[in-house]
Amino acid sequence: MKLRKRYVVLRFEGELEEVCELLRPSLAYPDFLKPILRAGNLGILRCAHLDLEAVREALNKRKIWVVGVSGTLKKAKGKYLRKVG
């Protein structure tokens, strides 16, 4: 099965790479997780579509708010970064 990309927009304090390192142990496809963009207190992570629920659960446990999820980076930027920023 081909892994589809999901772009998770989140609101947090700190470094985006640190968030990725916290998430990796709980994912089935940890190598697919990648920090994409940081804009103020918002960030975008790429993950596999099969890991999306695990990412949401791990972020909720750490009190990191998920703003939204998109299948393309262009849509994630346009839909979520424009509204909040």
The predicted model gives 6-34 an average pLDDT of: 95
Residues 6+ apart with CB under 8 A from 74: none
Contact by Cβ (8 Å): 85, 79: no
pLDDT (0 to 100) of residue 82: 76
Which position has the token pair 């920090």? 35
CATH class of 5-84: alpha beta
**pTM for the predicted model, two decimal places:** 0.91
The predicted model gives 20-26 an average pLDDT of: 94
Average the pLDDT over each of 29-33, 36-40, 69-73, 80-84 and give the range with the smallest value: 80-84
The domain ranges of the chain are 5-84
Q: What angle do CA 59, 65, 70 make, to 5 degrees?
A: 85
pLDDT in tens, 2-17: 999 999 999 999 999 9
Q: How many CB atoms lie within 10 A of CB 32?
A: 17
